[in-house]
Structure 1
Amino acid sequence: MKRIALVSFLVLMNQSVLAQSQCRVGQVVQITGNVELQRKNETIKPIEGTQICRGDLVKTATGSIAELKLRDGSKITVGKDSQLVIKEYKIFRKQPNVALFELLQGAFRSVTGSITKRPHRYEVTTRVATIGVRGTDFWGGYGLSPDGALDVVMLEGTGVYVKNDKGQVELDKAGLGTTVSSDTPTTPKTWPEEKVMRAMATIQAN
């Protein structure tokens, strides 16, 4: 009986450690409006300080936004009426760091922290392209262009690449943006101020 109890205790301990490691991603630092976290089969109403776990789906309602701060200092703003999945997040000492997200709808802004100071893979997948980061402040999302196209703009930093199976482009200067539908990402062009302002409006409280 003692042996069975010990085994059960060790199993519970291992499950607890695993759960803690999955939730060592970061936390919610600010909420405006109606925001939900979907974690497995559970729906959570987060507050400031709620821990973020790998696999969490962050959902915002119309007019609502959520600001997340990850362990390395990266900041992610999930825009209005948006859905973003935290697919993977791992900080290593000797291996490349990994941060993977998926934008299901809406828009987001990401300002990377120390995770990109050494070899890394920091990517956001969407239904039409993958956005990769070399260390930067950038915005990506739907709604600025017609026909459900994805827009991406680098606001500041060292570079963003946008790729799909049709091709790849590099955004290597602040203000450069591209648009992706089901074809090759368009040639990077400097966005007019009006378009940048429309992008920022999607991730800012009214």
Structure 2
Amino acid sequence: MKLDNKALLRLIAAILFLVYGCMSWATESAGQVLKVSGEASLKDSQGQMRSAESKEKVYAGDTVITGKGGQVFLVLNDKTRMIVRQNSMVVIEAFKYENKPSDLQSTSVLQGALRSVSGAISKSAPKNVNYKVGTATIGIRGTDIDLAIIGDGEPDRAGIYNYVRDGQTEVTLASGETAIIEKEKSGFIPSKPEPGEALLQVLNDRPAFLRSSGFDTLINQLRTPRVPTMR
């Protein structure tokens, strides 16, 4: 079939619209850096490094990397707020927020520690939000949580921790074990379990790695903004 010039131009315009539309979707940011302290950088899915600076956009596939004394405060587009602690590597594996049932957020802690306060996706589609830490996958139910991979020689026993400040989480291991973690309790997966010891445990004690910083003060203020009093 031979196309006339007008039909050919319409076809080319349609193709360009699709191409640029896909490019725009692919490059849409997942959020941005709100605040940084100390040594920190971002690595994209292609391995390219860039500095983590205030207002720097963050994309799905990015890894947030912090050094000794470094912290990064992220705000995702659905108002999820995250603090990436020092000596950490955290990957924004997937993120889509369009106020639809298909919205999703997946975050992976490869090293170190993360605090996360859930945003809009957790309220509308909580099953579409998860965090991965080693062999554990954490599902959330309207939460303020801490996740950490603790090595040998630290005050806490070596392993994976999920402390719940508020709300509730469900921790599931690749081996099938699962547990519900309530407020002010911790899920714990020991890195070197003793013979007969449970692979997934619920602890009542607050882990020693939980230390507040100025970033925690800020995240708390954003969670519960101060209402001015009338005089």
State if a TM-score over 0.5 links the two structures: yes
**Aligned pairs for 1:38-57 within 5 A:** 38-39=43-44, 40-57=46-63
In the comparison of the two structures, how many residue pairs are matched?
Answer: 196
Q: State which of 148, 151, 161 in structure 2 corresponds to 1:151.
A: 161
- Distance (Å, rounded) in 2 between the aligned partners of 1:123 and 1:17: 26
Kept in 2, the 8 Å contact 1:78–1:203? The answer is no
Alignment CA distance shift 1:97-1:16 (3 Å): closer
The C-alpha deviation readout for 1:56-80, integer Å capped at 9, x for no partner, is 0110011101010011111011111
SS in structure 2 at match of 1:200: coil
Deviates more, 1:114-123 or 1:65-74: 114-123
Alignment CA distance shift 1:37-1:170 (3 Å): same
Q: State which of 158, 175, 185 in structure 1 corresponds to 2:184.
A: 175
Q: State which of 91, 105, 110 in structure 1 corresponds to 2:116.
A: 110
Kept in 2, the 8 Å contact 1:107–1:202? The answer is no
AA of the residue aligned to 1:181: P
- Distance (Å, rounded) in 2 between the aligned partners of 1:139 and 1:59: 17
- Unaligned 5+ segments in structure 1 are none
The C-alpha deviation readout for 1:142-181, integer Å capped at 9, x for no partner, is 226334x101110012x11111024111112x21112113
- Unaligned 5+ segments in structure 2 are 1-7, 192-197, 217-231
| Higher RCO (CA 8 Å, separation ≥ 6 residues) | 1
What residue is the counterpart of 2:31 in the other structure? 26
Alignment CA distance shift 1:203-1:108 (3 Å): farther
Kept in 2, the 8 Å contact 1:79–1:202? The answer is no
- Distance (Å, rounded) in 2 between the aligned partners of 1:53 and 1:138: 22
CA RMSD of aligned residues (A): 2.7
The C-alpha deviation readout for 1:42-65, integer Å capped at 9, x for no partner, is 101021111110000110011101
SS in structure 2 at match of 1:13: helix
The C-alpha deviation readout for 1:89-127, integer Å capped at 9, x for no partner, is 112444253110111000000001221111232111122
Q: Which has the larger radius of gyration?
A: 2
* Residue 184 in structure 1 maps to residue 196 in structure 2: no
AA of the residue aligned to 1:190: N
AA of the residue aligned to 2:135: V
Kept in 1, the 8 Å contact 2:157–2:190? The answer is no
The percentage of aligned residue pairs carrying the same residue is 21
